[in-house]
Chains A and B, each alone.
Chain A
């Protein structure tokens, strides 16, 4: 099969890649762009470790074809912190002890970011639901939920312009 060209934005930068039609967004991010912060845990859309934001909404990069994101805006964990440093979510994850082995952390952060972009003041139940597609085997989720609550209370994220 011959490669096709796809253009999209990742963490604010324009990229142009030649990809096989069957390559996933996850493969494009990890293998072609060396953005390995996005993890592959199950390859079938269950574990949530590969969660990235596409135009502000969380998607599974392992179930998304690279060609599907033509012209879209992708945010990965590497782009979560702005020029001023860490995102409040990242800071809260560190301070609340929400990180253990760290393999699910990127996906958790991106799923949480997606939630806060849509709903800056979520209830605990909202948070649990938003993270229900992300599996963590170490923490029992308690400190992750606390961290998202804290980040939400510290700095309500404004609703994303593109949404």
Chain B
């Protein structure tokens, strides 16, 4: 391993200072002269035809500057894919969920804007609504979109090998059904947008986003303005977790109001709007059938999954596939069939969230535990038998170049003292393990590469120009670390111009594990390009060959002779005075199979690398209340190479909190028809500081051949495996395999009671 100056070091993040002093500006903090307040009128019905909208009274209210409805739009429909374009940002025909955007107001202050909303009169013809995916798919159910029969938004069908033959050969076959409710992101920052136009018709827009370029394109389409006139600006972002990758109707509405009024407009969502009107995680019913041989090796698996997609398609084809993909990566299986159905209902729109399918992931792992018990095996043992290994192909034909899944299992088990504890813990205590895998550098058929530019200042400092956005995970610091390392400069010498669609070249965004692998790679290549140019200039002055030079701590020198070097600042000035450009350019495009498509052809190289993670949790269940106390968690992940262990530990810990502590114990939505009954943090319980157990983090490095410095995704396969480990530990503690997630005290208590009653009956 080369000796790095900054890569691989525990480096406090460069963005922290602005955040601890309150100087960092988030969207809602922006203020411009003559700025108006925008508010959105939302549907009070889950399914209704819009007959008429009368805004005349609202427009007469002093202070109201504009009202927009579907009639102010071009009627463009949004969809992540061409074949899923189904959502108008201000619908003309009908509303499909409680809370959908119907009209919007811009006024001089918030009170006036809210008053104006009440003065807009909308005539609806209420339509029959459907809230349950199995009812929505049944014959005769009301159709939510005319062109999607049976309300089936997406059907992903994957079939590999001989599934029935595999079951026939199996020593043991099990079929179980697992279910999970919806969950929400609850990002710290509620959604907000600020938009303004200049006299040349350029749109400037700020919003929490996970990819400025991914926002600009649909905005350009919906507003019918050229892409180069949509300037999504950089702003501090209060979290994403998968929920801010797509355009939001608020982006479009805010721009529309700004265009109509000729003034800056700010829309800030309430916490309830952030929950109901952005995205949620899918609820899911997963039926999993698995056949194994006597050693516990999986010979065949058949999974059918019904996902409640809500009113619109969002990332439908991706969301329908990823739960399956994670598990086909994590575990070997020769023959496999998957049928994933994403079904429309009259509920809020579902998108991608950190744990892709609790019912799927926990289902596969719970069933492995059940099989292990029947075979007299230990859960760790059966996972080692089935764990993915480097050099293999996944069933859908992605080559896995680097993989340390087994190492994560072994290291986690050792740290958790699994052998001492499994089967030996006192009553109501339990231990459980979960394994998962996540895609890295994942174009998804909707995005591609990243390009970066490095330019120098005469003082020896460098500016990195890159489309990579930081929505909380530390991407800005990652770019600085890479640039400083490659250029031989110090982190404080690096300036960032990032996440701005006017200035920065194309980038796929910072969602679905792509920033380091693709955006970071582009910055690395740009820095190497710039360094090469500097070396050519320095080589002449030093009378050396460029290949013999190194750049370190602001100096360029011949390898091994650091005292006879040239300051980088001087080399930059030499370039300037000699008329030689020293700016660097880098471009990285992920090498995947371009023919792979989510529905039409779900086979071929999907992405370049995969992360692998194992979590082990130990819990204690109170048999009187059903409450779970988590005693200790071990999280081990193959991250390829840890660029910054300090940041990675934070990712692991946050992943345990969201995936395990929240995702498996408390987080779910409950409903009255299509209405979310717990849209705020008062009723939707996210983990608090007092809830957190001791977490041991273990970084495993497989050094991926294609990742920058060998790095892969970090944290996601912990979030997912944490959900699985928590579930397994609770099942182990109470001696019942639970199949409906999350595992709330009521469900745990019910299972304990039922088990006791069954026990009494057998004794009678």
Mark A residues whose CB is within 8 Å of B.
30, 34-44, 46-47, 49, 76-78, 80-81, 86, 90, 93-95, 97-106, 109, 127-129, 131-145
Contacts and interface: CB of A to CB of B under 8 A. Distances in A.
Contact of A95 (B12, B15, B21, B185): B12
Given A46-B682, A47-B188, A78-B22, A100 B650 contact: yes
A102 B689 contact: no
Contacts of A97: 12-13, 646-647, 649-650
Contacts of A132: 688-690
Contacts of A127: 689
Nearest to A40: B28
Contacts of A46: 680-682
B270 interface: yes
B682 A142 contact: no
A137 B12 contact: no
B22 A36 contact: yes
Nearest to B656: A140
B460 interface: no
Contacts of A39: 26, 28, 188-189, 238
Given A97-B647, A99-B16, A101-B238, A137 B186 contact: yes
24 contacts: A39-B188, A40-B28, A44-B682, A78-B21, A94-B16, A101-B189, A102-B18, A102-B236, A103-B239, A104-B188, A105-B20, A135-B681, A135-B686, A137-B239, A137-B657, A137-B658, A137-B686, A138-B473, A139-B653, A140-B650, A140-B653, A141-B689, A141-B692, A145-B689
A100 B682 contact: no
B75 interface: no
B188 A135 contact: yes
Name A's interface SS: loop
Q: Give the 6 A-B residue pairs with the shortest CB-CB distance, closest first.
A: A37-B22, A101-B472, A102-B19, A103-B238, A103-B188, A140-B653
Interface string B15-40: 11111111111101101000000000
B20 A131 contact: no
B21 A36 contact: no
Nearest to B472: A101
A42 B22 contact: no
B19 A43 contact: no
B499 to A, nearest CB: 14
B241 interface: yes
Given A77-B21, A97-B647, A141-B689, 6 more contacts: A78-B22, A100-B473, A104-B188, A137-B239, A140-B657, A145-B689
B189 A43 contact: no
B736 interface: no
B271 interface: yes
B237 interface: yes
Nearest to B652: A140
Contacts of A138: 188, 239, 472-473, 650, 654
A43 B681 CA distance: 10
B695 interface: yes
B108 to A, nearest CB: 13
B22 A142 contact: no
